Amino acid sequence: MTNVSGGTLRRRPAQRRSLERVERMLDECARLLDEVGYEVLTTKEVARRAEVPIGTFYQFFTDKQGLVRALAMRNLEAFLGRITARLARVRLSDWTEMVDLAIDEFVAMKRSTPGFAVVDFGQVLARPGGSVVEGTERMLDAALENNVVVADRLRRITVELLGAPIGPDLDRVLFVAVEAADAVLKLAFRAHPDGDPELIAECKHLVRRYLAAHLPTG
């Protein structure tokens, strides 16, 4: 069972029963995003399908956006967990090879994880492959854009697990890389529901070349 950051909830579930209810609400939120999209999603329907009283919903989430914010955080934790697990099983010849690994995991989640086609790590799409819903650029952190948070979490992995070189421009470079990958992958999934394979390959090539040009590999 995936832990949800306490910062995304009105209160942190203390008992197993409460945690299970929160997870059920997030699961049903994800399924409904696939079925009806963000605009039609309602807290009442999430509570009904999760079989919890609407009052219980509001014990943990302030509103629909708070629910989706928690789902985005759960998605990010799952994504980072998948990367960490892959790194434990493979041996990379160079830390920039993590680009392919990370993009492959993102694409796999986009294709198979409920709700991920509408909300991945914060920014909400009106529908799979659709436009971004206004006001969702800072879902993970009220003060930071979503991709700043994602880049920071990826930086921790590259530095702590892979021994990536630390330079004065690392934060900026990784943020630009995440922004670029995000834009091209959105394009790939607008072009095809499962992601256009040629555009996914172009994304890997673009980000690898950018990182190799801006960061030392030793």
34 lies in some domain: yes
- Other CB atoms within 10 Å distance of the CB of residue 112: 9
Around 9, how many Cα atoms within 13 Å sit in the side-chain half-sphere? 21
Q: What is the CATH number of the domain that holds 58?
A: 1.10.357.10
Residue 1 in any domain: the answer is no
Answer yes or no: are the C-beta atoms of 111 and 34 closer than 8 Å. Answer: no
**What are the pLDDT tens digits along the chain (218 aa)?**
444 544 466 566 657 888 899 999 999 999 999 999 999 999 999 999 999 999 999 999 999 999 999 999 999 999 999 999 998 898 887 777 889 999 999 999 999 999 999 999 988 998 888 888 888 888 888 889 999 999 999 988 887 766 666 666 888 999 999 999 999 999 999 999 999 999 999 999 999 999 888 876 55
Residue 50: other Cβ atoms inside 10 A: 19
Evaluate whether residue 202 is within a structural domain: yes
Residue 118 in any domain: the answer is yes
- Does residue 143 fall inside a structural domain? yes
Total tally of structural domains belonging to the chain: 1
What is d(CA 205, CA 99) in angstroms, rounded to the nearest whole number?
9
Rg of the chain over all Cα atoms, to the nearest angstrom: 18
- What string of H, E and C letters represents the secondary structure of 128-143? CCCCECCCCCCCCECC
The domain containing residue 89 runs over which residues? 6-214
Model confidence, pTM: 0.89
For residue 144, the cross-strand partners are: 141
- Of residues 97, 75, 105, 73, the one with CA closest to residue 161: 97
